[in-house]
Structures are given as structure tokens and as C-alpha cells.
A and B are shown apart, each in its own frame.
Chain A
Amino acid sequence: MTDNALLSGSVSSLRQQLRDRAVSSEELTRACLERIEAYNGALNAVITMCSEQALDSAREADKAIAKGDIASLTGIPLLHKDIFCTNGVRTTCGSRMLEQFVPAYDATVVTKMRGEGAVMLGKCNMDEFAMGSSNETSFFGAVRNPWDLNCVPGGSSGGSAAALAAGMAPLVTGTDTGGSIRQPASLCGVTGLKPTYGRVSRLGIIAFASSLDQAGPMARTAEDCAIALTAMSGVDAGDSTSADIPVPDFHAGLHHDVQGLRIGLPREYFNEDLDPDVRERVMAALSELELAGATLVDIELPHSHYAIATYYVIAPAEASANLARYDGVRFGYRCEEPVDLEDLYLRSRSEGFGEEVQRRILVGTYALSAGFYDAYFNKAQQVRRVITEDFTRAFESVDVIAGPSAPGVAFQFGAKQQDPVAMYMEDIYTLAVNLAGLPGLSTPAGLINGMPVGLQLIGKPFDEQTILNAAHRLQSDTDWHMARPQLETVAP
């Protein structure tokens, strides 16, 4: 087995090869580690390596396989976004504030993936505290898109998406507060799933906006996402907002049949603002599904245009409180020689947080202030309900809602950095899904000028199965998801 075959293999195929003893987890893990060694200098996708620990876990996995003691991810190498707390392994959240932070506990997702036998290779770069859509806000430097090193990978799970696209691991984790899995998946040409809010425990995930944050898998195929989602999901006594709803075996439930599937196309997503090239790719993908028996239906989500404004009140408001704990007192960055308490707070936070994080803390603090609460936060909560009702109504007549994952392909570094609103528009098609708590995935829909673009499929609450099935069918009929960046020529 060549390294290249290993490094482009899906979880489901690698799983079979491991079971057949065609390859060992140690070999697979070594190949991934070498790939990271070779290309991380160019991509900056991984910020913490766990090579020794990974090889130990891989050997353990090989022993387990030899004994026939095989779980759903036994021996499969994995990279976690650096927002998941990992016991004994530095967890930075992309921030100077947590540059030296080593948790004494694992996130529930980390525990579950390990429990299923996955081998953690390391931690992926990300926008600082998951605030960003380009991965340019990371304290550890920007991540480069493996399809074009001059372009961003998207964000905030940009390191995860880039690493996956670059063949550094067959499976990565991400989190999605307003599009942070789906948009980078779109920009890097991989499949990414944001589950229903409550499907995956948030315990041990460093909070950005608690009512919106949700962890999910990114992989090469929808099938792999189904395997990983099953492993990650489930009610957690440690997260009161995790849903006490049975977790189906999404992989076992996967099928190709989209006959009669009603796919809603929101007028508001396919309007004159949509980039014609993106429209062309998205419609091409939807035509495939139509050809396979699905029905395309025009629908309305009349309050869609409020999503960005609503999101950029609620998310920063929650963040302003969630990030208050980084005060230089108990853990994290502390400024040198504070003269008094106020100086300690002021300088620790000014020096420890980057510009975008500070901007959002200020916006959120403002939105919650006396005299502004009703006009901003309270109003945003009301609009959030209205947006959710839009979806509920739409789902009375369709099974899935489709649209672009992002307004365009990957853009060049710096292109939107000086214009926060232009950057916020990156998530125009994804934000509302978080506000409504719905599951959404991005699946590759081909290339525009050599750069990937994604189709977004949005499901009913806790109906990840239907969008996984639709993506699975699309991936059976097309090979867009098989397209890989030619990293060897891009970054020799």
C-alpha cells in the first residue's frame, strides 16, 4: 500500500484495511505524522503534535485489532480542533491567552472518540476562540489553503479542514457556531457536518457562544461523517443542553435512496446576490439529486436577511460573558508586573486577546448594557425565534433545505481582514442554521477556477440521517468529493 493511497483513503475504507490487516494503525499513523511533518510548514494547519502518544495509541489499536476487539474507529488517526480540551495536551483555542494552557480533563467528544479507538495525532489551528471565517485571527498564524497557498482555508475550523484536505488525517473534528465547520469544508473541498444543537456534548469544548456552539466531524465522505457522528453523539450528564434523544447508528442507516425526497430551495439564498459561478455549481449538484429522484421545491425563509444582525448580537453577547474568565487570575496569560487589579485585568486581556476577539467582546458587552438590552439582545432573541419559525414552516413541505455553504470560493489573505462586515458575510448562508439549532452539512460541488465550492444541506432537528443520505447519494453519483489539491506541486 502506497502512502498516497493511505493518505487519501476514507475512514470506511481504512477501517476495512485495518480489519483485513492490510495495513496497521501504526503504519497509517506514521504516514499521517510524516505527512504533517512534510507539509505543515507550508500550511500551518496543526499547532500541537502528539507523535509519541499517537504511535503508542496506534500500537494499542493494532493489538486490539489482533484480538478482534474492534470499535468503530479503532486505529483511525484523527486531528482535533484545538478548541477541544485534551487531558495533558496543550489546548490553546488559537489564542495567546491559552498559549500555555494544559487541561487536566478531556472534552466528552475526545473521550468518546478515544473510546471508539481513534488515534489522536495532534491539535489543529483555528481562528482565535473560533471567532473568524478565514483562520487569520489565530495567534499561531494563519492557515493556508492546500488548494492555493495564497488563499485562506476558511474558518474557524480552518486548520482542521486544511489538514484533512492535505491528507494529514482521514478524520478531523471541528466546531460550528455560525458556519465554522461548513464554510471551511466548502473552501477546502471536504465534507463537514454541523449536528443539531444538543446532539453532541459541549462539555470540555472551550465556549464561544454557548447557545450556538456545536461540534461535528469533517471527513472525505458523508459516509465517514456518519461513522464519526455516531461516535461523537449522545446525551451527557455533564452538559445540561445535550439532548436526551436516542442516537441512531447513522452509518447503518445510510442509504442511497432519494426518490421522492423534497429539497427546498429558499428564494432568499438563490437571489440576485448569489455569485453566478457558485449558483452554477450548487444547481449542478442539486440537478444530480433531482436526476436521482429528488424533487426541487421553491420555498421562502422570509426573515433570512436578519440572520447576520441577529447572530452578531447574540454570539458576541454570550462570548463577552464566556470569555470573562480569562482575567489573568487563575490560568492563562497574565501581563508582566501588574500594578493593581485593574491593570492586571486590562493588560492581561488586551495583550492576551487578539483584535477580533476584543471587537466581539466589546460588541457583546454593548449589546447587553443597561439601556441597550431590549433594543439589541432582547430583540435579537425575538428575531431568533422568528427565524426558527421560518424553518419550522418550511419543513412542513420539504425534507431538506439546500443552498450554498459559502458565498464564494477561498479568498486571498488579507482580502477581508480590514472589513469585519465583509468577513461576517462569509457566513451568510450558514448562520441561520445555528440560530435555529438545525443540522447542516457541506458537501463538495465541484471547482470554480480550480478552487472548491460546497453545497449546503440543512435538515430537520435531529434528522442528520436525511442530509447524510442525500450527500451520500450525491457522492455516489459524482466524484467532486474525490478531488484533491495537488499539494506536491503547490508546496513541493
Chain B
Amino acid sequence: MSWETVMGLEVHLQLATQSKIFSGSATAFGAAPNEQADAVDLGMPGMLPVLNEEAVRYAVKFGLGIGARIGERSVFDRKNYFYPDLPKGYQVSQFFAPIVCEGVFEVPLEDGSLFPIRITRAHLEEDAGKSVHDAFSRETGIDLNRAGTPLLEIVTEPDFRSAEQAVAYLKALHSLVTYLGISDGNMAEGSMRCDINISLREKGSDALGTRTEIKNVNSFRFVERAIHSEYERQADILDSGGSITQETRLYDAEQNVTRSMRSKEVANDYRYFPEPDLLPIIIDADYIEAVRATLPELPGAKRARFTADYGLNDYDAALLVPNHALADYFEAVVTAGGAAKPAANWILGDLTAALNRNEIDIAASPISAAQLAGLIVRIEDGTLSSKLAKQVFDGLWAGEGDADQIIEARGLKQVSDTGALESMVEAVIADNPDQVAQYLAADEAKQKKLSGFFVGQIMKASKGQANPQMVNELLLKKLNDQS
């Protein structure tokens, strides 16, 4: 049987507010256990929540960023369940009336095309604390630092058909929220956690199969692998005539399998009802326009501008734009005089490779945008061959100064003087009579290959400084003169 995967994603996005959503406690990552939990976070008797307006603004920014409708009147609800790291015995969330309503998010795929994903809703809620099982023997510790951290839960329609689409969506989401400055999107630290609702159906069918939910997958790579492994599991069951149990599963990255979470005897009934301690959030058009005025240029607009203004292809634009700092770097190179296409090539090629190799962020690049522009200028004006340019790039990386200083210091100027090149070509021809004879005897295709030998000799003799294009032209002319 041939199966089609149908998926919807729920992303829990930690909003980068200074303080928690309902208390004044700090939200910074990595503090000692319970140092960032006050009486409100602990759910002490008589304590009341006070809504952090910054979280509301961030949610509205997100809604505007994906072109969604903003709920004029959204309401907090209590989601009731018992768990030791849930201090009040309920989580304050938005169930009946979310702050961000339906919208469509255009996700760029690798080929540069756009893939629309329908956003069902996004709502504000507070995070729970953390149960620490490995700190004490036979006892569980509770760390409530995270309790009350603002989350935006972003829910999509079941619009995904492949792991690649899911990952592309998550990457685009990551890019959007970092552009908006509402989250650091750090998956490793839990700022962006993904639940995958996944079911299989016969190709061509419109019906939805029974789904499972894979909870809390915390990297792009794991999302891709978890989907593949869950697909295999469900397909095996269905192929052998079995049926899927609707359940929550966890992805085990070490074994690359999903596992059923401890099944509960009864399904959870969260008994949602409106949170009486908080007023509804009323958002009027003025507020929305004020927030809209603060929005930066978003990835979609930037991609369009990069192709239109700089003549980049969709592919390059799609690679440069997601990382805000990388896009800024590119524009700085262009502003400093570097031609756009070579700038994109250098940034996405050698520079990214070197940064990755050394685990350095673009913002901390040892080569400044102006320096890279200087290098590109020297390639464009013919001073540097691509081979020499690599050497200059290495010099830039090593901090040897600007491109011109390195060219000077290393004596890397490309030799484009016809006279000088002619004598080099003549010398190589004179030194290699056998190869010349072979060349002259060969057919056209073979000749092309053999000419490489002479070019190599000349480049070697010139320490790479000979202008390869000119060498080629002169060589062919001289060899043909021999016949």
C-alpha cells in the first residue's frame, strides 16, 4: 500500500519577555533552581496573576507577522490537571478565544518556491516548571524557574505532507520570530518545542487516519527523523492490517524510535473554564496599528527585495534571509561596494564554511563586511584570480589586514601583462616538446584535456599569479602556431 503522511504541528514558543507572563520574576535561562520563582509562581494562597503587557504585544507582533487575524477580545482560561511541577493545579492558557486567529504562513522551500501553511490559531499561556528526576536518589526535585514563562502556542492545520515541509516550516517560523525579536527560538534550550500530529492515509484519499502526537521534539533534525520513524511504524502497522492507537508518543533520539508515553487509565479532561482572576484582553485597531508600525522588514519581504534589487536568484535569497544577521552582513558587503552575486557566493560558500568549521556566529565573523567587499572588488577588477582570491580570503580570516594589504604583502597580484604571459607560455612550450607533439596529434576533445597540463605548468611557474583566462587564450594561439 502506498501511504501519504498528513501532519499538523503545534509549536510552543517561549517569548523573550524580561519577566514572566503573570509575575515579576525574571525569565533568564540557567539560574539555580527556584531562584526565579516568586509567590505567584509558587501558587501561594491568595496570590493573583497580573498580565505582562509585553507578552500581549509579542503575540500581536507574531499575528501580524503571519498576516493572521488578531482576536479583538481574547480570554484566558484555566486548564486543570494535577502535576507536581504545575504549582496551581491549573495552567492559565487560552482555550475558547485565542489572541491570534486564523492566518496563512508562506513557507519558502529549498527550491525557492513558497508553500502556504494554514495557521489555525496561536494563544498565550504560561509554562509549567520542571521535575528533576536525577538530582536526588528516590526523590524528585521541582524547579519552578520556568513556571510562568510566557509561551505562544502556534497551531497549524494538517497541511504538511512530508518531513521536509515540516522542517522548512519550523525554519521559517524560527526565522520569523527572530526577525520579530519575540523569541530567541533556541530549540536546544527549549525556547521552541514542537509537537507533531501525524497520521497516514492511502494516497489519493481525503479522509484523515487516526493520528498520534509526538511531543516535545527539540531540534530540526530530530523533527525530520521522528517523522520518518513514526511513518515507518504506522505504515508497518497499517500494512499488516492493524490499526493505529490515538496516543501521545515521545521521540527517543538515541534509538531513533517513537515510544508510547505511559498510557493513562482515563483520558485527561482539562475542565477548561474562563480564568476569573484576569480580565479579557481587548485589542483595538489603534493598538494593532501601533504594533504594526514597529514591525521590521520580515523574511518574505526581504527575500523579494533581494531578488528584485540585487538580482539574486530565489535559492540564494532563501539561504541568506532566514538568518537576520547573515542578511544584514550581505547588505553591508554590497553597501561597501561588493557586487551582489559574488557577495552572496562568498558569504554562502567560503565564509559560511569557515564560520561553521570554527563554530563562529556571523555576527562575530573575523572578516568584516567591508573586508569581504574589498576582496570582491579586487576580483571584479581582475587583480585577483579566483585561486588568488582564496589565498587573500585566508589572509583576511587570519587577520592579516585588508585585501589590498594582503595582496601587497603576499605579492599575490595577478599577472595580466600580455608580454610577460607570452614569454611564460613560450617557455613551457619549449620545455615540453613531447607534450606539444602529443597535443598536435590529438583530436579536438583530447586537445582540450591536454591543454590543462600546460596551463597547470604555467600557473605553477607563476606561483598562481598568471591570469588563467589570458593564459588559456595565449596558450591555444601559440600551440596552434606550432602546427
The interface of chain A, by Cβ under 8 A from chain B, is 84-85, 91, 93, 98, 101, 103-105, 107, 202-207, 209-211, 237-241, 317-318, 320-321, 323-325, 327, 329-331, 341, 345, 365, 368-370, 373, 377
Q: Tell me, in angstroms, the Cα distance from A238 to B44 when the chains sit together.
A: 14
Q: Is the CB of A93 within 8 A of B45?
A: yes
Q: Is B244 an interface residue (CB 8 A)?
A: no
The answer to whether the Cβ of B48 comes within 8 Å of any Cβ in the partner chain is: yes
Please, which residues of chain A bring their CB within 8 A of the CB of B50?
A: 237-238, 240
Q: Chain A contacts of B272 at CB under 8 A?
A: 368, 373
Does the CB pair A325–B276 fall under 8 Å? Answer: no
- Interchain CA distance A317-B271 in the complex, whole Å: 9
B80 touches A239 (CB 8 A): no
Instruction: Identify 6 new A-B residue pairs, CB closer than 8 A, beyond the known A330-B87, A370-B271.
Output: A103-B45, A206-B45, A325-B87, A331-B42, A368-B80, A377-B273
Q: Known A210-B277, A241-B279, A345-B82; judge A107-B90 contact (CB<8 A).
A: no
Given contacts A325-B88, A327-B89, contact A370 B78 (CB under 8 A): no
Given contacts A203-B48, A324-B90, contact A329 B142 (CB under 8 A): yes
Q: List 22 A-B contacts (CB under 8 A).
A: A85-B45, A103-B45, A105-B46, A203-B48, A206-B45, A206-B46, A240-B50, A240-B278, A241-B279, A317-B273, A321-B273, A325-B45, A325-B88, A329-B142, A330-B42, A330-B87, A331-B44, A368-B80, A368-B271, A368-B272, A369-B269, A373-B273
**B39 interface residue per 8 A CB criterion:** yes
Complex Cα distance, B78 from A148, in Å, reads: 44
CB-defined contacts of A323 to chain B, threshold 8 Å: 89
Cα distance A321–B273 in the bound complex, in angstroms: 9
Complex Cα distance, B90 from A207, in Å, reads: 14
For the complex, what is the distance from the CA of A235 to the CA of B229, rounded to whole Å? Answer: 56
Tell me which residues from 206 to 227 in chain B have a Cβ below 8 Å from any Cβ of chain A.
Answer: none
Contact B39 A104 (CB under 8 A): yes
Given contacts A203-B48, A237-B50, A240-B278, contact A329 B84 (CB under 8 A): yes
Q: Counting chain A CB atoms within 10 Å of each CB, which of B42, B78, B277 scores highest?
A: B277
Q: Within 8 Å of chain A (Cβ to Cβ): is B51?
A: yes
Residue of B nearest to A331 (CB): B44
B46 touches which one: A107, A237, A330, A368 (CB < 8 A)? Answer: A107
Q: Which 5 A-B pairs have the closest CB atoms?
A: A324-B89, A368-B271, A210-B276, A211-B276, A204-B46
A98 proximity list for chain B (CB < 8 A): 45
B67, CB-defined interface residue at 8 Å: no
Q: Are A321 and B89 in contact (CB under 8 A)?
A: yes
Which one of A202, A341, A377 contacts B48 once the chains associate, using CB atoms below 8 Å?
A: A202
Shortest Cβ distance from B279 into A: residue: A240
Within 8 Å CB of A85, what residues of B? Answer: 45-46
Q: CA A107 – CA B51 in complex, angstroms?
A: 19
User: Using an 8 Å CB-CB cutoff, how does the interface string of B74-100 with A read, 1 for contact, 0 for none?
Assistant: 000010101010011110000000000
Is the beta-carbon distance between A239 and B45 smaller than 8 angstroms? no
CA gap between A318 and B45 in the complex, in Å: 14
Q: Which residues of A contact B49 (CB under 8 A)?
A: 240
CB contact under 8 A between A240 and B45, given known A345-B82, A368-B273: no
Tell me, yes or no, whether B395 is within 8 Å of chain A by CB. Answer: no
Tell me, in angstroms, the Cα distance from A241 to B278 when the chains sit together.
7
Q: Which of B48, B80, B279 has the most CB of A within 10 A?
A: B48
The residue from A237, A240, A373 contacting B277, defined by CB atoms under 8 A apart: A240
Contact A240 B269 (CB under 8 A): no
User: Please, how many angstroms separate the alpha-carbon atoms of A104 and B40 in the complex?
Assistant: 12
Residues of B close to A370: CB separation below 8 A:
269, 271
How far does the alpha carbon of A107 sit from the alpha carbon of B44 in the complex, in Å?
12
Instruction: Please name the residue on chain B nearest to A84 by beta carbon.
Output: B46
CA distance A278 to B46 in the complex (A): 37
Q: Does B43 contact A (CB under 8 A)?
A: yes
Contact between chains at A327 and B80 (CB < 8 Å): no
Q: Give chain B interface residues in 313-359, CB to chain A under 8 Å.
A: none
B residues in contact with A107, CB < 8 Å = 46
Per the bound structure, the CA–CA distance linking A93 and B46 in Å amounts to 11
A105 to chain B: which residues have CB within 8 Å?
Answer: 39, 44, 46
B80 and A321 within 8 A (CB): yes
Q: Kindly state the separation between the CA atoms of A238 and B38 in the bound complex, as whole angstroms.
A: 14
Tell me which residues across on chain A come within 8 A of B279, comparing CB atoms. Answer: 240-241
Q: Of all chain A residues, which has the CB nearest B78? A: A321
Contact assessment for A365 and B271 in the assembled complex, using a CB-CB cutoff below 8 Å: yes
B276 CB contacts on chain A under 8 angstroms: 209-211, 241, 318
How far is A72 from B272 in the complex, measured between Cα atoms in Å? 44
Q: What residues on B are CB-neighbors of A324 within 8 Å?
A: 80, 82, 88-90
Chain A nearest CB from B93 CB (Å) reads 13
Q: Are A320 and B80 in contact (CB under 8 A)?
A: yes
- A residues within 8 A CB of B78? 321
Q: Which residue of B lies closest to A212 (CB)?
A: B276
Which residues from 275 to 293 on chain B have a C-beta closer than 8 Å to any C-beta of chain A?
276-279
A104 and B46 alpha carbons, distance in the complex (Å): 11
CA distance A101 to B44 in the complex (A): 10
What residue in chain B is nearest A342 (Cβ atoms)? B82
| Smallest CB separation, B337 vs chain A (Å) | 54
Alpha-carbon distance A321/B276, docked complex (angstroms)? 11
- The answer to whether A341 and B46 touch across the interface, beta carbons within 8 angstroms, is no
Which residues of B, 129-149, contact A by the 8 Å Cβ criterion?
A: 142
| B145, chain A: closest CB distance, angstroms | 14
Q: How far is the CA of A85 from the CA of B78 in the complex (A)?
A: 24
**Given A321-B273, A325-B87, A239 and B82 touching (CB < 8 A)?**
no
What is the CB-to-nearest-CB distance from A106 to chain B, in angstroms, rounded to a whole number? 10
Tell me the bound Cα distance from A404 to B277 in angstroms. Answer: 31
B23-67, CB < 8 A from A: 39, 42-51
Which residues in B have their C-beta under 8 angstroms from that of A211?
276
A359 to B376, CA, bound (A): 79
Q: How far is the CA of A325 from the CA of B40 in the complex (A)?
A: 12
Q: Cβ of A101 and Cβ of B142 under 8 Å apart?
A: no
- On whether the beta carbons of B46 and A207 are closer than 8 Å, the reply is yes
CA distance A341 to B140 in the complex (A): 10
Which of chain B's residues 258-276 have a Cβ closer than 8 Å to chain A?
Answer: 269, 271-273, 276
Q: Is the CB of B48 within 8 A of A239?
A: yes
**CA of A485 to CA of B115 in the docked complex: distance in angstroms?**
81
Most chain-B CB neighbours within 10 Å: which of A202, A204, A240?
A240
Most chain A CB inside 10 Å of its own CB: which residue of B49, B51, B89, B279: B89
